Structure 1
């Protein structure tokens, strides 16, 4: 049996007619830049996130960068974040002129550990970027308490967590702003690059809108240094079709996660750690990620059995060569480094067949027995 990590073709089969119709509508309108589809998506995603502003940008990486710049982060500032994340989080901080300060993670959720944040705060600290990894929100109440105490902002990196909630509050409600990626593999994915900033801060939102069009307002008059980072109208049209299905897809992911957890815990509860959802959290399972011994050997074995897996992430940001000048060394963030050696993500997408899940679990059990 061949089990893909993700199969977008199944989703397209269901949505094909709607998507083609939406793209034809864009072509017929000849409105390709920041048109009605972008406005509709911005409005829908902002409302879905219980925020008042959505600012569509070219990709999720730009969303973080522009949100930081719009919030006033500049050269000489420090931004506290997690090292156990995709490169875009740290890269955006540096591109905004600031210095990333990495702290360790909670070994249960893989998210930033709030108990480690306060010790990392200096008089240069201006922001915290929690990353809601794999689809589960970080402990935002604890992070917000720290941010309020020290009067620093929160930019939530929610690239993997659209639809995630914590104690009834959505991504973006608690922080100063939040950012989404609509990369094709995401829970709400475009057919190319796309991203968005959401916020209840009208001033930040307006600044972000100016930055995404070369810092121009009015047109051809530039008071800030901006970028060409506009959400494409055709990608917005595709995302508008998909948006109405997002809640169902999230529910499907949660059901698949429950199947994996039940089957794996029946056989291997003393060997591996299945995902733990913290009380009050609504996990949308962008990834279903295990902690396992002999991770690399398991991945090789599963590949031989036709099963795709992914490792998110094999090298933490604080040990990346590009950040060598920050002075981190192995051993500085022990939980992060341990997770980088133990985490493995299994196939996960809304249309994932039950028999594929059973086969995956059967082969994992076979490996450890």
Structure 2
């Protein structure tokens, strides 16, 4: 049987009764769109983070786009972020009409190198958009200082960092807004698409609620022309409410898998994940590094083990972003990582015997290189 990099079926079997009860709760409620389940999830997700507001939206990409628009970031503005991320981070900036500006990443943690941000600021810079990648947080203190000095906004991309902390502070609780994805693979995943924005601004909260609902404040009456149809689905919201209660358990499960990998692969020459000082990693993915990555992936196929590369193409090298003018070599760490990183199977329900299978196969392959 193939070992998948991610699989929900065992988790579903364990939680089946609760998931199906969530569906029944919505279907029997008489309200299928923006009802009690969305409101309940928004309140509970905000409370988990100690945030003033949560606005549920249809996916994580639109969570970023709407967050930027709600804060007034758009055409003519520059948003500083990274190229070592999922393309939707940058697609969302582009969808808001703003221009992405990239800085390189730290070679040990693969997170935004905040020391490089000051050098790319221009009079057009409006927002800093750090990506809490792979399950751990960017240290936002340097960005907070820059934001205060230059009157900039911080919008956090928390799609991969549900429950992660830096110096005790949860991801998503520092900036003017924070965007979350609930795509099924996430640490807190729905059974379909979903997203949310956290903010402590009453004004941003009102703007987000308009933006996700065609620009309307009242039914059929459009207040702003930048509206979308970006509502979080009631069924997904009710499922997320149930799963939110188990989020800390999911995180504990991921950390247990990570410890087992670390113990089993520590002496192999594989570069294992490094947790930045002050961080509490949640291991959305378990990303490792080796200069012969492609050979390793090919060799592991005979063991029926599926691996993932997150991400094989830096965003600035994609033809869809050629208009930004970045050349090969402009972000050397990001570009080097793209040829070496890959992710081992990681999810809380990954059985110990399957973890041992992965460890054994990786050790065998590395020994034969």
TM (norm. structure 1) is: 0.97
Moved more, 207-216 or 2-11: 2-11
- Tell me, in whole angstroms, the C-alpha distance in 2 between the residues paired with 1:103 and 1:163: 25
CA deviation string 1:208-228 (max 9, x = no partner):
111000001222222212000
Classify the secondary structure of the residue corresponding to 1:365. helix
Q: CA RMSD of the aligned region, Å?
A: 1.0
2:312 partner SS: coil
Deviations 1:270-305 (A, max 9, x none): x22111111211111000010112111111111221
Specify the alignment match of 1:202 in structure 2: 202
Residue 259 of structure 1: aligned partner:
260
For structure 1, the 5+ residue unaligned runs are none
User: Which residue is equivalent to 2:329?
Assistant: 331
- The residue aligned with 1:223 is 223
Render the CA deviation track for 1:181-228: whole Å, top value 9, x for unaligned.
000111111111100001111211111111000001222222212000
- Aligned counterparts of 2:254 and 2:83: Cα–Cα separation in 1: 26
Once the 2 structures are TM-superposed, how far is the Cα of residue 364 of structure 1 from its aligned partner? 1.5
> 1:82, CA displacement in angstroms?
0.4
Partner of 1:238: 239
Matched residue SS, 2:216: coil
Superimposed CA distance per residue, residues 76-101 of structure 1 (whole angstroms, 9 cap, x where no aligned partner):
11000000011111111111111000
Asked if the contact 1:272–1:293 (Cα under 8 Å) also holds between the matched residues in 2, the reply is no
Aligned with 2:365 (options 336, 353, 367): 367
Contact 1:311–1:344, Cα closer than 8 Å, also in 2 = yes
C-alpha distance in 1 between matches for 2:78 and 2:140: 20
Displacement after TM superposition at 1:254 (Å)? 0.6
SS at match of 1:278: coil
Retained in 2: the 8 A contact 1:50–1:170? no
Is contact 1:59-1:193 (8 Å) kept?
A: yes
Listed as ranges, the gaps of 5+ residues in structure 2 are none
**Whole-Å Cα distance in 1 between the matches of residues 281 and 157 of structure 2?**
15
Q: Secondary structure at the match of 2:28?
A: helix
Cα distance in structure 1, aligned partners of 2:25 and 2:243: 16
Instruction: Give how far 1:248 is off.
Output: 0.6
Match of 1:14 in 2: 14
1:250-279 per-position Cα deviation (integer Å, ceiling 9, x unaligned): 0110111011011111x31xx221111112
Scaled by the length of structure 2, the TM-score of the pair is: 0.97
* Alignment equivalent of 1:349, drawn from 324, 347, 350: 347
Q: How many residues align?
A: 366
Contact 1:178 1:199 in 2 (8 A): yes
